A and B are shown apart, each in its own frame.
Chain A
Amino acid sequence: MGMEAIVETKPVEEDKPRIGVFVCHCGVNIAAVIDPKKLAEYAATLPNVVVAKDYTYMCSKPGQQLIIDSIKQYNLNRVVIAACSPRLHEPTFRKCLASAGLNPYLLEMANIREHCTWVHTHEPDVAFEKAKKIVELAVTRANLLEPLEEQEVSVIQRIMVIGGGIAGLFAALAAANAGFEVYLVELSPTIGGRMAQLDKTFPTLDCSKCVLTPIMNEAAAHPNIKLFTYTEVVDVQGSIGNFKVKLRKKPRYVDPSKCTACGICAEKCPVKVPNEFDMGLSMRKAIYLPFPQAVPTVYLIDPEHCLYLTKRDPKTGKPICGVCQRFCPAGAINFDEKPEEIEVDVGAIIIATGFDVFDPREKPEYGYGKYPNVITSLEFERILCATGPTGGKILCPPDWKKEPKRIVFIHCIGSRDETVNAPFCSRVCCMYTAKQAILYKERVPDGEAYVFYIDVRAAGKGFEEFYRRAVEEYGITYIRGKVSEIIKDPVRDTLVVRAEDTLTGKIVEVEADLVVLAVGMRPRKSTLELAKILKLPLSADGFLQELHMKLYPVQTAVDGVYICGCAQSPKDIPDSIAQAVAAAGYAMSLLSQGKVRTIGNVAEVNEDLCSGCGICEATCAFGAISLETKVVEGREVRRAKVDVLRCKGCGACAAACPAGAIKAKHFTDDQLLSMIRALFVGPSEALKAIKVAAPPIKAS
């Protein structure tokens, strides 16, 4: 049963550390190899140890009570527990100290189990000597421990979702349905994202807009969601639970409360501009609605091409157009609208900003940009779409006269390719190519579809079955080989695709009316700017970096900022949605408590030693240190400042500081160096070498 060995040394002066050492038997894990009583007796001889006890199971309730009682009885202000690894029970014993009224950071654990009795089981004498050394080091450090504060900060129960595509919409709805206030910020004039540009989705062949638009409308109508469309994020300050975000709402020049989307303005507008929603394959007017189902359903004026906004009559100085304003029956047009600067406070931020596609002009051998009938998959998707440039009829650009009788699809354009700095796989291209080939064959049954591939990656649910259908049911020909070049046959006005069929070893040349390049994903430029503002690290592939690739795919290095969807890495719709609601779940669980706690072992800057060199700021991976300009003795200087809400306590800044101005609390130079010294000269000598004043012994 519990054995108590009480060894008390002579009474210690009031203003010194009073350490209690508790040696655990851990059943037989420790006690079978070394004698815990003897170890406690030895510990009692060490500097400032007032009492040393042993017990069978220190982490049990009676064990913890023993510690609490001893703290009170002997007026202890430091505790050393010689037992298992701190990675197991440091939190347990810290709570134990707290319930005895002692600051939880005044605990040191001596690992005499994992690092001693369990690995030197057959050499008990040796193990005992090593256990003594481990306890000596722990007692030395305990002498130098300081009480540390954990701060509690109240959080704002509002979530900002940046990006109004499928991921952003689901994240916003998940949080809004749980009762949280959500600000949904979208850079383009409408929510919907890439999914709005798709015709059908694999492998279900759902009509993309049909499944998307109910979600868009639900988000727009939700009482807890405030939509900020055509708005960019300018700056973000603050940290977890308290972010101050500066937004800039770009002017539409159309009053949303008056516009009925009748479209008369666009009919009358004289300016034609390539339509970015159709990837430039059709034209829109300078006043336009991005697509018929846009939310909000409000027209807007393109300030770069609108005649009123860009040109004046040289003689009169008056604007030369204004037709839309004259004809608008609702009087909704206002050319004087200015950008609106908005500042909002939110508790958590979810980034769902999606992707851009690879520009195949980086691979000139494919002829994109040179031959009009070499197009990207996204452009082909717009051709397939009933709201696209051809009303869903498959015709060859640029004149839309010829129906292609043979289409060649090429996988891995800008993916799995070191030459364009993209060794990663974009994950969706094998599937969307199969989809596009199937849709082509459905509409042009006598057409031929060829796919040049390296692999076919069909890993998701229903994907392999879908690909099988493409090959077996629709007779799409898959040839394994990389395309070396695409040349134009000037006589027949067709393209010739040249590749090696690696399974037969022969060179093949396939004549095609249309070539579709399965372009890979790229991070958006606007996402990269957002990452700079938020101090978010990027992965090697250029997408936003998650905290842990396996365990924490939607968290980031910045607490309170979450990422999801293709902004994090290429993925399809179901995976984007899964990540989006995961991010929302984390944001909600963070904010639902109403407050967050910092850790105690943060960095602290001694401003008297800091010279403002900025090395710490560059070193910190979490953006937790920044330089602040202050006035010191009449001069303007820069001093490092730690944001304790961001600081993770790693200590990299403390090691980097050339002046030694940063103290890594709980892992100070004194604490670490005296442990090393104690190893060679013993604890008393090691402690004598501490030249600075002993730390305050205010215990709680």
Chain B
Amino acid sequence: MKEHKPEVLELKSAYPATPKKLFEPLIVCFACNYCTYAGADYAGTARIQYPPNVIVIRHMCSGRYDPLEFLEALRLGADFVWHAGCHPGDCHFLTGNYKASRRFALLKKLCEQLGFNPERLILEWVSAAEGDRFASIVRKLLQKYEEIGPSPMKNFKEEL
């Protein structure tokens, strides 16, 4: 009988080393209470470790997200603005995330017109069970940061 030799996988680090300066990048995550916020909670419960660069702003539903919130975060220098929420079809309030995705489509176009790198505004739904997905999106954004660098708005001192 042929002996089965398991492949030795090269263990890569779970995430790149924490950046030298704290909150570089800074990811603002817009979360809904029933899915994404719960998913981030679940990452905590499961003790999934991820870089500390994300701050979660809790809403009850992604339908509540006002495009002004995203624009404000970008204007003030957020490196990434993450539109999260329940997956389509799963919204606790039935249709909130459909409205959110329609607004997001226009917001994306608007941000491009304003001169922001469109890769700074992302749409990634996270459900209550997807703690690992929450963490992996944070890591993915850190890798993207290595490519696109900090937000240009950091150089501007704007009046609130």
Supposing A650-B63, A675-B57 touch, asked if A621 and B95 sit within 8 A by C-beta, the answer is yes
Supposing A650-B60, A652-B63, A655-B103 touch, asked if A688 and B44 sit within 8 A by C-beta, the answer is no
Find out whether the CB atom of A621 lies under 8 angstroms from the CB atom of B96. yes
Find out whether the CB atom of A655 lies under 8 angstroms from the CB atom of B49. no
Q: Which residues of A contact B66 (CB under 8 A)?
A: 654-655, 669, 672
Looking across the interface, which residue of chain A has its beta carbon closest to that of B138?
Answer: A119
Answer yes or no: B111 CB below 8 A from chain A CBs. Answer: no
Q: Which of B71-118 contact A (CB under 8 A)?
A: 72-73, 76-78, 92-96, 99, 103
Find out whether the CB atom of A652 lies under 8 angstroms from the CB atom of B76. no
Answer yes or no: A51 CB below 8 A from chain B CBs. Answer: no
**Assembly CA distance A119 to B18 (angstroms):** 13
**Assembly CA distance A680 to B40 (angstroms):** 22
Find out whether the CB atom of B99 lies under 8 angstroms from the CB atom of A652. yes
Interface residues of A, dominant DSSP: helix
Q: Which residues of A contact B78 (CB under 8 A)?
A: 679-680
Answer yes or no: B13 CB below 8 A from chain A CBs. Answer: no
Find out whether the CB atom of A651 lies under 8 angstroms from the CB atom of B99. no
Q: Which residues of A contact B93 (CB under 8 A)?
A: 621-622, 648, 650, 652
Q: Which residues of B contact A672 (CB under 8 A)?
A: 57, 59, 66, 69
Q: Which residues of B contact A681 (CB under 8 A)?
A: 76, 160
Answer yes or no: A677 CB below 8 A from chain B CBs. Answer: yes
Answer yes or no: A619 CB below 8 A from chain B CBs. Answer: yes
Q: Which residues of A contact B37 (CB under 8 A)?
A: 85, 87
Nearest-neighbour CB distance to chain B for A162, whole angstroms, equals: 22
Nearest-neighbour CB distance to chain A for B4, whole angstroms, equals: 35
Answer yes or no: B58 CB below 8 A from chain A CBs. Answer: yes
Between A133, A676, A688, the greatest number of chain B beta carbons within 10 A of the residue's beta carbon is seen for A676
Q: Which residues of A contact B11 (CB under 8 A)?
A: none
Find out whether the CB atom of B61 lies under 8 angstroms from the CB atom of A677. no
Q: Which residues of B contact A675 (CB under 8 A)?
A: 57
**Assembly CA distance A673 to B61 (angstroms):** 16
Find out whether the CB atom of A673 lies under 8 angstroms from the CB atom of B69. yes
Find out whether the CB atom of A667 lies under 8 angstroms from the CB atom of B64. yes
Q: Which residues of B contact A626 (CB under 8 A)?
A: none
Option from A652, A676, A689 in Cβ contact (under 8 Å) with B95: A652
Nearest-neighbour CB distance to chain A for B80, whole angstroms, equals: 13
| B32-49 interface bits toward A, Cβ cutoff 8 Å, 1 = contact, 0 = none | 010001101101110111
Find out whether the CB atom of A126 lies under 8 angstroms from the CB atom of B73. no
**Assembly CA distance A119 to B45 (angstroms):** 9
Q: Which residues of B contact A654 (CB under 8 A)?
A: 64, 66
**Assembly CA distance A134 to B50 (angstroms):** 16
Q: Which residues of A contact B141 (CB under 8 A)?
A: none
Answer yes or no: B121 CB below 8 A from chain A CBs. Answer: no
Find out whether the CB atom of A87 lies under 8 angstroms from the CB atom of B52. no
Q: Which residues of A contact B148 (CB under 8 A)?
A: none
* CB pairs A–B below 8 angstroms (8 shown): A119-B48, A121-B47, A655-B64, A664-B64, A669-B66, A672-B69, A680-B76, A680-B77
